[in-house]
Amino acid sequence: MLLWMAVAIACATDRGVTFFGAFDIAPGTSFSTLRGARFGGLSGLAYDAAARELLAISDDHENPRVIRLRIEEQPFRVTPVGVIPLSGTPVGLDPEGVVLLPDGHLLISSEGVQNEVPRQPPGIFEYSHDGVFVRALSLRDKYLPPSSGPITHGVRGNTSFESLTLAADGKTLFTGTETALAQDGDAATFEHGALSRILEYRLSDDTFVPGREWLYEIDAAARPAFDADFFVTGLVELATTDSGDLLALERSYAREPGEAGRELNRIRLYRVAFDGATDVSALDSIAGATGLKPVTKRLLLDFGKIPGLPPALAALDNFEGLALLPPEGGRRPLLVVSDDNFSMRQRTWFVRLAIH
């Protein structure tokens, strides 16, 4: 049985963003179109212009897959219409981001699996249009944690490549670490932010190779009005704009102990520009380095301040995915999706915005 709710409201927000509606799918909802695959865990989005569909990566470690989605406008709703299982990957995946290449192949970013021995490496992996593994993109050693023992180098556990986006020309790819590399500095806390890295990949022959890197300043975690037994904060998604800038989605979450414990979500959308930023690709570590200039970021939207959100979304949710859609009437529609973590306490929300 499908349980869903749609809210369609057009209302202006600050800084050139308009909210147009929200649609949600309850946890545990099944769809015959997915051929037995679970729906949920949507962590990244890409738009397939040829098919006029959304592609969403499901971050199911045991059965990684891409879910095909159809968007309906009146009323606004999103419906699963198919599934692409990912097969043949030589390492364990924690898939988080998805890109559709001009030739129909898929690129998937993975955080790797850092709570197993030996650890599974993070990376970006290419698949055919029907989900068969093709290759892994090259990754600089600075991102690789040791195979066992304390993580003193490389990405920290569950805070790696959440994001993935392709420039409009199809020749430049971007991803970013959710928080700082272990050798670069501390992860963000309630007291301070952190410096993560944005990575550029450039098309060379028939694949993408590492290019420049920049520092990105992550906000300090949102401090809740309760004692938290768990929190996470960082860069969870990127999207490329027509101007060549990036949209960056930051997610901060804190949880109170106990089954009925309170939760706090803070979701912010920024516009990122590279002008004047330092290329740090040659630095294995930025510890002790001086004069490094991060990319600049400007707040576009604080999701907690969107007027007209449905009451069920007042506390927000675990938003992790972005997709820019084809322009409409001088605006660029933007879809944002939340990852329900396959939890009965969370839902899959689609929020429709417009950038102008």
Residue 229 identity (one-letter amino acid): D
Contact status, residue 97 vs residue 29, Cβ threshold 8 Å: no
Residue 41 in contact with residue 29, Cβ under 8 Å? no
* DSSP structure string for 304-333: GG-TT--GGGTT---EEEEEEPPPBTTBEE
The pLDDT value recorded for residue 345 is: 87
Question: What is the Cα–Cα distance from 162 to 251, expressed in whole angstroms?
Answer: 11
pLDDT at 179: 98
Spatial separation of the C-alpha atoms in residues 299 and 216, rounded to whole Å: 14
Q: Between vectors from CA 195 to CA 194 and to CA 198, what angle results, nearest 5°?
A: 140
CA angle 343, 248, 20 (to 5 degrees): 70
User: Six-digit token pair at 348?
Assistant: 């899959």
How crowded is residue 22: how many other Cβ atoms within 10 Å of its Cβ?
A: 23
Model confidence pLDDT, tens digit, residues 134-192:
999 999 999 999 999 999 999 999 999 999 999 999 999 999 999 999 999 999 999 99
85, 111, 146, 287 from 216: Cα distances, Å: 33, 18, 24, 15
State residue 228's pLDDT score. Answer: 97
What is residue 67's predicted lDDT score, i.e. its pLDDT?
98
Hey, what are 103's tokens?
């030739």
Residue 275, number of CB atoms within 10 A of its CB: 8
Residue 239 tokens, joined: 């999207």
Q: Cβ(301)–Cβ(267) under 8 Å?
A: no
Which regions in the chain score pLDDT beneath 70? 1-15
Give the pLDDT score at 15: 58
The confidence score (pLDDT) of residue 6 equals 46
Number of other residues whose CB lies within 10 A of the CB of residue 167 = 16
Whether the Cβ atoms of residue 163 and residue 238 lie closer than 8 Å to each other:
yes
The single-letter code of the amino acid at 316 is: L
The token pair that represents 99 in the structure block? 């890109």
The separation between the first and the last C-alpha atoms of the chain, rounded to the nearest angstrom, is 37
Q: Which residues touch 205 (CB under 8 Å, ≥6 apart)?
A: none
pTM to 2 decimal places: 0.95
Question: Which residue matches tokens 């692409």?
Answer: 84
Domains and CATH numbers, the chain: 35-300 (2.115.10)
Q: Are 231 and 255 in contact (CB under 8 A)?
A: yes
Cis amide bond preceding 150, omega within 30: no
pLDDT at 355: 87
Residue recorded with tokens 């650890």 = 119
- Contact indicator for 282, 289 with CB cutoff of 8 Å: no
